[in-house]
A and B are shown apart, each in its own frame.
Chain A
Amino acid sequence: MIQINNLHKKFGKLVVLNGLDLEINSGGIFAILGPNGSGKTTLIKSILGMVIPNAGDIKINEQSVLKEWEYRNQINYLPQIANFPANLSVKELIAMVKNLRPKKANDTDLIKLFSLEPFLDKKLGNLSGGTKQKVNIVLTFMFDSELIILDEPTTGLDPIALIHLKELIQKEKSKGKTILITSHIMSFVEEVAGEIVFLLDGEIYFKGSINDLKKQTNQVDLEHAIANLITKENV
């Protein structure tokens, strides 16, 4: 479903993506992992068209997405840092985003799920980090799209919200959606992800299931397996 060919991206002299090739099939949960600064967010932003790659091509459903914009209607994106305009209230923000997409949204269920009702009239600038992240999640999941991209979805969430988030992800997976997740919380990844894509120095270093990774590195748990991957490369 997503095909990435020979993707290059440089920020000044810093090479972030160096000829990355990746193919992601429809359906299932894919975790994109890698050390800090390995290009996870850059990869995601390239798919979204927020970062313009220096070379290479990205295809979604056999169609190149570079310089296009309509395809974003089929993507739900949860940004890493919940940066919202501080002078809007939660209600206004949700209404505005709904207005931008020609799609039906089920925001009321989600607002109830994360018990955001008391915050609806509050300004976004006055919300705590965790509450902002909940609003972020509502905005991401209220549309029904084929592809869902979550960049560090767990930041700042309390345990109850985290459980709800996991349920949401599983629900979307059962509908046959494709979900891309980046996270540094390995227990979370181990719980939800079906397949792992490991990025290092702007290239795909490993792609496969969690069990394959454990076997390849001779480690029992995922955290050590990933740590093993990172250190092996650096030695």
Chain B
Amino acid sequence: MRSRWSYVYFAFYLALGFVLLFLNNDINKAIITLLNIIIVLTPLIGTIFGVMYFYNSKEFTELLLAQPIKRSTIFLGQYLGISISLTLSLVLGLGIPFLMYGLFKSSAIFDFGLLLVVGSFLNFIFVALAFNVALSNVNKIKGFGYAILMWLFLAVIYDGLFLISLIVFNEYPLDKYSLFATMFNPIDLSRILILLKLDISALLGYTGAVFKKFFGTNFGLFVSLFVMVLWVIFPVWRINRKLRKKDF
């Protein structure tokens, strides 16, 4: 089940990469389009795959639990298996068309690399979050619902709330606040990280300048990647903690 779908997913990215390149005829423009797709799609796919895999492999998990294997090993293995296969689909699916188009000769290689790194992080983050949701819900339908809701919240609703808060408090200096709020949403964080690398920060006005000052530097880049790592570690840690008390 898992392997067949990751092929489909791989083929999808492959096709996407080719189509974008031939329509845009320019690597930089293709990367911007890709950004918008990756930012929304990878979390969604990661969430759905994570939840689906968890519930589908229930029997398998029960079989393994009666064997002399540590609990955390079983689930960590499943988590890594699904995250890595999704990441591979992403990296290969997008990498191949771009390589064929002559990525190495263009200056966009660093941006493209960052895009893939961010996409991979999003995969790992959202599969871990999905496992968390699935572990806390025995009911399949409920678990699926909550997971999708979580994705919707982080991908769409969070931005809305963020914007509203900016409008309501627009008499106060908000640059620090918005920087901080961005850190709490992996999707926003990755979006801004890449946008700024692509040098379209001028579109963002004064706050954009503050962002640019922060994310544009190497220091900002490292801090952001560090926050992304935290976004992976914390859910995985919680999976482990939940597991210790879970009955099967």
Among B1, B62, B68, which residue has the most Cβ atoms of chain A within 10 A?
Answer: B68
Q: Is the CB of B65 within 8 A of A50?
A: yes
Known contacts A51-B247, A52-B245, A52-B246; is-contact A83 B67 (Cβ 8 Å):
no
For A70, what are the chain B residues with a Cβ–Cβ distance below 8 Å? 68
A50 pairs with B68, CB closer than 8 A: no
Give the nearest-CB partner of B1 in chain A.
A87
Contact A69 B70 (CB under 8 A): yes
Known: A84-B63, A85-B60. A45 touches B68 (CB 8 A): no
**Please, which residues of chain B bring their CB within 8 A of the CB of A67?**
244
B40-93 interface (Cβ within 8 A of A): 57-60, 62-71
Interface check B169, CB cutoff 8 A? no
Write out the residue numbers on chain B whose beta carbons fall within 8 Å of the beta carbon of A77.
66
Contact status A50-B1, CB under 8 Å? no
Contact B66 A48 (CB under 8 A): yes
* Other-chain residue from A83, A86, A100 in contact with B69 (beta carbon distance below 8 A): A100
Bitwise, B229-248 to A at CB < 8 A (1) or not (0) is: 00000000000000011111
B247 / chain A contacts, CB cutoff of 8 Å: 11, 45, 50-52
Give the number of chain A interface residues (Cβ < 8 Å).
Answer: 24
B67–A101 CB distance below 8 A: yes
Are A100 and B68 in contact, CB atoms less than 8 angstroms apart?
yes
Inter-chain CA distance A50–B66, complex, in Å, is: 7
Residues of B within 8 A of A11 (CB): 247
The answer to whether B71 and A72 have CB atoms under 8 Å apart is no
Q: How far is the CB of A5 from chain B (nearest CB, A)?
A: 20
In the complex, the chain B residue whose C-beta lies closest to that of A140 is: B66
- The majority secondary structure among interface residues of chain A is loop
A79 CB–B CB distance under 8 Å: yes
Contact between B66 and A101, CB atoms less than 8 A apart: no
From B57, B70, B244, B245, residue with most partner A Cβ within 10 Å: B70
Contact of A100 among B58, B64, B245 (CB under 8 A): B64
Residues of B within 8 A of A48 (CB): 65-66
Closest A residue, CB atoms, query B64: A100
Residues on A with beta carbons closer than 8 Å to the beta carbon of B245: 52
Contact B68 A73 (CB under 8 A): yes
**How far, in whole Å, are A51 and B248 apart by their CA atoms in the complex?**
6
Chain B's closest residue to A100 (CB) is B67
Given A52-B244, A85-B59, A69 contacting B69 (CB threshold 8 A) = yes
Closest to A86 in B: B59
Note all chain B residues with C-beta closer than 8 A to A1: none
**Once the chains are docked, how many angstroms separate the CA of A83 from the CA of B64?**
12
Residues of B within 8 A of A227 (CB): none
Please name the residue on chain A nearest to B72 by beta carbon: A69
Query: Does any Cβ of B come within 8 Å of A97's Cβ?
Result: yes
Cα(A45)–Cα(B66), bound, Å: 9
| Docked complex: A95-111 residues within 8 A CB-CB of B | 97, 100-101
Establish whether residues B62 and A79, one from each chain, have CB atoms under 8 Å apart when the complex forms.
Answer: yes
Whether B62 and A83, one on each chain, are in contact in the complex, defined by CB atoms closer than 8 angstroms, is yes
What separation, in Å, do the CA atoms of A97 and B1 have in the docked complex? Answer: 20
The interface residues of chain A lying within 8 Å CB-to-CB of B65 are 48-50
B-contacting residues of A (Cβ < 8 Å)? 11, 45, 48-52, 67, 69-73, 75, 77, 79, 83-87, 97, 100-101
Q: Known pairs A50-B247, A77-B66. 10 more at Cβ < 8 A?
A: A48-B66, A49-B71, A50-B65, A70-B68, A72-B69, A73-B68, A75-B66, A84-B59, A84-B60, A101-B67
Give chain B's interface residues, CB within 8 Å of chain A. 1, 57-60, 62-71, 244-248
Q: Would you give 15 A-B contacts (Cβ < 8 Å), ordered by A?
A: A45-B248, A48-B66, A49-B65, A51-B247, A52-B244, A52-B246, A72-B68, A73-B68, A79-B62, A83-B62, A84-B60, A84-B63, A100-B68, A100-B69, A101-B67
Complex A-B, nearest 3 residue pairs according to Cβ-Cβ distance, in ascending order: A83-B59, A73-B68, A72-B68
